[in-house]
Amino acid sequence: MDQVLVNGAILAASYALIALGITIIFSIMNVLNFAHGQMFMLGGLTVYWVMTELELPFAVGLIAATVAVGAIGMFFEVFFFRRVIRSATREENTMLLAVGTALLLENIALSLFGEKHRGIPPVISGVHRLGDAFIPSNRLLVFVVSIALIALVLIVVNYTKTGRAMRALAQDRTATLLMGVDAHRISMIGFGLGAALAGVAGALLISVSGINAGIGNAISTKAFVMIMIGGAGVVSGALLGAVALGFIEAIGYAFIPGSVTYLLIFTGLILFLLIRPQGIMGKPWG
């Protein structure tokens, strides 16, 4: 059981980066980013390209993935979503645009990297023991870096001027505009930050499980599951959803055949949403 708990904690930490990113984008712009999984995929493939083609260290790849995917997120916000939000009369338009960007990113990745599953060697070697559990050093590195990044993002969101503007925009957009906040700039930064978190999660996990160009939809599905559990647009809810999914997945893979685990997760999720559609930490809509 110790091994299951350790596996769950490592999964939860990396999932929290993904959930935090999609929640920041949704809370600021009210956009469900269906391309979040594809941004995760691009982060991983960027590290792969930096290490195999440029033969640079993993740390350089990690920084490159964060900057590149963050820049893609800001580009999407400025040139795609901002224009559609300004002109569209229905919220579904942003959802359709998000699906379109997901397909765009996936096909670009397929053109550049093909369908082959890509991976990199473990960044560090060795195994640590915690009780009856064994922790490969590579997975421990992913856990530590993920926790550090989550703490850094929470500090930025809660204690910086830009972070306070993000929270204000998420709580009351009209009042925030009346206070003179540059909503366009904050939305661009928020989208870039959310995308960068997905990218860095992919950059970390390519050293553990590898990544291919078609993995984006599965990651986006997991991101939606996490925010449905915790509550859409709520940072604490996103983290709670990540912890819940990480441990449920670890327990399921340990005691139940793999294909059945997600069948039970989706069944349980539907039953949960019938009782609490806003998630654990979310507020009722309407």
Mean local confidence (pLDDT), 204-225: 88
Decide if 6 contacts 246 (C-beta within 8 A).
no
Name the least confident of 93-97, 126-130, 267-271, 279-283.
279-283
* Non-local CB neighbours of 216 within 8 Å, separated by 6+ positions: 35, 37, 38, 39, 40, 41, 102, 105, 106
User: Distance (Å, rounded) from C-alpha 236 to C-alpha 240?
Assistant: 6
Give the pLDDT score at 201: 92
The per-residue pLDDT for 199 is 94
User: What residue type is 135 in one-letter code?
Assistant: I
Mean pLDDT of 182-189: 90
285 has pLDDT over 60: no
160: DSSP letter: S
What one-character DSSP code corresponds to residue 211?
A: B
More confident residue, 1 or 134: 134
On the question of pLDDT at 25 being above 60, the answer is yes
d(CA 200, CA 165) in angstroms, rounded, equals 24
Measure the CA–CA gap between 268 and 96, rounded to whole angstroms: 28
Per-residue pLDDT at 45 exceeds 90: yes
pLDDT tens by residue, 244-282: 888 888 888 888 876 788 788 888 888 888 888 888 887
Pick from 163, 178, 187: nearest CA to 235: 163
Strands 127-130, 133-136: pairing is antiparallel
Determine if the pTM surpasses 0.95: no
Encode pLDDT of 50-77 as tens digits.
Answer: 999 999 999 999 999 999 999 999 999 9
pLDDT band at 286 (very low <50, low <70, confident <90, very high): very low
Residue 33 φ/ψ, nearest 5 degrees: -80, 90
157's CB contacts (< 8 A; 6+ apart) are 24, 163, 166, 167, 235
